[in-house]
């Protein structure tokens, strides 16, 4: 999923607000630090997904002639490959 920096900031603020409203959770550090960890996590996940997408694209390009020769559905194949690579890397979409 592609998120803009503004959307990541917005989501980071919302997650922090949810954490602060949860009575069982007590933040024992600066809330700005917690916010930064939340947004960094979003960015890290986006980078990981981009790397997976690049791996899928590389594999599809390597086998492009076979895919065309077999008249396979490129979109369905891409989705299946992405799910498999995510599973291999322990990444949840």
Q: Is the pLDDT assigned to residue 62 strictly greater than 80?
A: yes
Q: What is the pLDDT of residue 60?
A: 95
Which residue range is the domain that position 82 belongs to?
A: 5-89
Sequence length of the chain is: 93
Please state, for a pLDDT cut of 90, what percent of the chain lies above it: 84
Residue 14 CB coordination number (10 Å): 11
Binned at pLDDT 50, 70 and 90, residue 1 comes out as: low
User: Residues 8-45: pLDDT tens digits?
Assistant: 999 999 999 999 999 999 999 999 999 999 999 999 99
Tokens (6 digits) for 14: 């919302």
Rounded CA-CA distance 61/82 in Å is 14
2 phi-psi bin (left φ>0, alpha ψ -120 to 50, beta other):
beta
Q: How many domains does the chain contain in total?
A: 1
Q: Are 91 and 84 in contact (CB under 8 A)?
A: no
């Amino acid at each position: 999923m592609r998120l803009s920096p503004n959307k990541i900031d917005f989501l980071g603020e919302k997650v922090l607000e949810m954490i602060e409203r949860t009575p069982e959770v007590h933040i024992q550090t600066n809330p700005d630090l917690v916010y930064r960890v939340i947004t960094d996590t979003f960015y890290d996940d986006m980078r990981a997904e981009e790397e997976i997408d690049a791996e899928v694209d590389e594999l599809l390009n390597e086998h492009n002639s076979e895919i065309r020769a077999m008249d396979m559905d490129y979109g369905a194949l891409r989705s299946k490959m992405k799910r498999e690579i995510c599973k291999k890397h322990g990444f949840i979409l």
